């Protein structure tokens, strides 16, 4: 009986009496039966082209040895869905990627410069393209590194140095990962397209008047994750008015960055960290500088007045508005920490309310009716800012402290209001604002559905006049540059005129 000859993992090579060739054939057949055929391996579907700094555009570009010299010649030769390998070297040209699905892969050590100023170094104008590799792009002064105008573009491991803008992402659904923009003179990552995703990117600014990551032009659903900025004096992270549903996650703003700007809506800052430029300290407003600048506290009263009927102080309602920190008094972002209160009326229970403005949510008077006593229909430049049931602050040169009104409805640019209470009864404005229409402004200060526009409320009472208290909010309130703080008091005891003096505690 023949003795089997055993091979790897129990595969019989044959028998001692069989020819060796037959045994080897059996092994090959067994191995081939256990390995997937090579035709099942997914291959790149397009043609492959090559670019080399030592190439020639007269070549066919089909191999490293017959590579083209310029990127643009390779792009013009390629078809949609092809791929181009750019070999290590220095290139000087402006490139337009205009074939759908085209992929460009750069070897490490590849640089691209556009010495002919006046255009982006790379413009991606076709959908679903990819630019990948350890590529360094140097735009000319005032120019952009990469300008994306198409949709679903992917950029990976690309870095820009100097120039005005590093990456301008205007197409929908762009994705940029592991990339950097260093020393731009205006903006590192300029995000204009909806659903843009920026992951693991970093930037260092060149001057104080620059931005790091800027979501602008009403871009929605943007996501920035694990991104870092330093040296951008305007702001490391800046969300402009009109942007919605953005997420900034696990990101950091460091030395030299201006405070983050968040003028968008419905955004989320998750695990975001900022480095304080100076040691933590508190300020108060108003404050005297010891050299003639007045710093008297602000008087807050429960009395309500208007242009017709004088003062009422015998009901349970909010009193006149008082400005604690005027608009444009603090030109950088600041934090409302709390207030100092000094009693001027004893024994009364005094409820107070602090309201804040965001300059981006204000609109000036614009035509229509004069903003006069008892008027209810107020025409503004942009009525879309406001919603029914909002509280708005009306202010102007006639009465800077202004008044709080409640919005009833909006019809285009016409905002219809009703006062919460008027000394003479009735509806509409308490005062005339008709001396200088150009100064009249309506600010959104409270919206029940939006926490950015909620009030800070509290209660105070004292047994004697001049008693003094310090209130610190449990969570400081972040206020945008040029934002104002206004206050009013509620007569909670219906016991006549009640008042106190106040100063704001804040930190820049």
Note the pLDDT of residue 186: 95
- Six token digits for residue 465: 């006049």
Q: Which residue in 134, 142, 85 sits closest to 111, CA to CA?
A: 134
- Six token digits for residue 104: 């460009």
Note the pLDDT of residue 12: 52
Note the pLDDT of residue 32: 52
Side-chain half-sphere CA neighbours of 65 within 13 A: 0
Tell me the sheet residues that pair with 86: 51, 106
Q: Which residue in 410, 379, 384 sits closest to 394, CA to CA?
A: 379
pLDDT along the chain (508 residues), means of 10: 51 53 54 54 84 97 96 97 97 96 96 86 97 95 95 97 95 97 96 97 87 95 96 93 94 89 89 70 86 87 85 84 94 88 87 93 92 94 95 95 95 91 78 91 94 88 87 89 92 82 92
CA distance 337 to 472: 6
What domains, with CATH codes, occur in the chain? Answer: 4-40 (no CATH), 48-274 (2.160.20.10), 283-357+454-507 (2.60.120), 360-445 (2.40.30.240)
Note the pLDDT of residue 294: 78
CA distance 223 to 210: 21
CA distance 18 to 39: 34
Strands (E) across 173-301 are located at 175-177, 180-182, 187-191, 197-199, 202-204, 211-215, 223-225, 228-230, 235-239, 247-249, 252-253, 261-262, 268-270, 273-274, 283-285, 298-301
Note the pLDDT of residue 38: 54
Note the pLDDT of residue 475: 87
Note the pLDDT of residue 8: 46
Note the pLDDT of residue 22: 58
Pairing verdict, β 350-356 and 456-460: antiparallel
pTM equals: 0.65
Note the pLDDT of residue 348: 82
Q: Are the C-beta atoms of residues 271 and 245 closer than 8 Å to each other?
A: no
Note the residue count of the chain: 508
């Amino acid at each position: 009986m023949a003795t089997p000859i055993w091979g790897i993992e129990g595969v019989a090579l044959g028998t001692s009496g069989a020819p060796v060739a037959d045994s080897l054939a059996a092994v090959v057949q067994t191995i081939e039966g256990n390995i997937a055929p090579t035709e099942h391996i997914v291959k790149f579907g397009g043609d492959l082209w090559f670019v080399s700094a030592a190439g020639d555009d007269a070549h066919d570009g089909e191999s490293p040895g017959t590579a083209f010299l310029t990127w643009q010649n390779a792009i013009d030769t390629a078809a949609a869905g092809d791929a181009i390998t750019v070999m290590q070297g220095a290139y000087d040209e402006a490139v337009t990627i205009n074939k759908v699905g085209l992929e460009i892969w750069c070897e490490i050590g590849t640089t691209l410069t556009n010495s002919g100023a006046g255009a982006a170094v790379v413009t991606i104008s076709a959908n679903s393209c990819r630019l990948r590799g350890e590529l360094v792009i140097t735009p000319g002064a005032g120019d952009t590194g990469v300008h994306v105008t198409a949709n679903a573009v992917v950029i990976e491991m690309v870095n820009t140095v100097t120039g005005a803008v590093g990456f301008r992402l205007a197409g929908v659904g762009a994705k940029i990962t592991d990339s950097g923009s260093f020393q731009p003179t205006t903006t590192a990552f300029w995000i204009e397209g909806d659903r843009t995703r920026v992951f693991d990117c970093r930037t260092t600014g060149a001057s104080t008047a620059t931005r790091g990551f800027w979501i602008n032009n009403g871009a929605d659903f943007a996501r920035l994750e694990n991104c870092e900025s330093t040296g951008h004096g305007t702001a490391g992270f800046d969300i402009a008015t009109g942007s919605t549903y953005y997420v900034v996650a696990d990101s950091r703003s460091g030395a030299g960055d201006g405070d983050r700007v968040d003028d968008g809506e419905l955004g989320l800052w998750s695990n975001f960290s900022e480095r304080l430029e100076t040691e933590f300290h508190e300020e108060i407003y108003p404050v005297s500088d010891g050299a003639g600048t007045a710093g008297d506290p602000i008087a807050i009263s429960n009395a309500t007045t208007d242009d017709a009927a004088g003062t009422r102080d015998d009901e349970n309602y909010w009193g006149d508005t008082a400005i604690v920190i005027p608009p444009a008094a603090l030109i950088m972002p600041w934090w409302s920490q709390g207030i100092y209160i000094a009693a001027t009326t004893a024994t009364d229970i005094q409820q107070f309310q602090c309201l804040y403005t965001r300059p981006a949510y204000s609109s000036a008077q614009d035509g229509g009716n004069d903003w006069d006593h008892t008027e209810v229909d107020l025409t503004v430049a942009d009525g879309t800012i406001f919603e029914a049931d909002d509280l708005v602050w009306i202010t102007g040169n006639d009465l800077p402290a202004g008044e709080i009104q409640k919005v009833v409805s909006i019809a285009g640019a016409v905002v219809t209001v009703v006062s919460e209470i008027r000394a003479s009864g009735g509806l509409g404005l308490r005062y005339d604002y008709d001396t200088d229409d150009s100064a009249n402004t309506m600010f959104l200060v409270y919206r029940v559905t939006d926490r950015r526009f909620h009030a800070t409320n509290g209660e105070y009472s004292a047994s004697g006049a001049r008693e003094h208290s310090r209130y610190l909010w449990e969570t400081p309130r972040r206020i945008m540059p040029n934002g104002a703080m206004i206050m009013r008091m509620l007569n909670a005891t219906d016991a006549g005129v009640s008042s106190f003096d106040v100063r704001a505690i804040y930190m820049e």
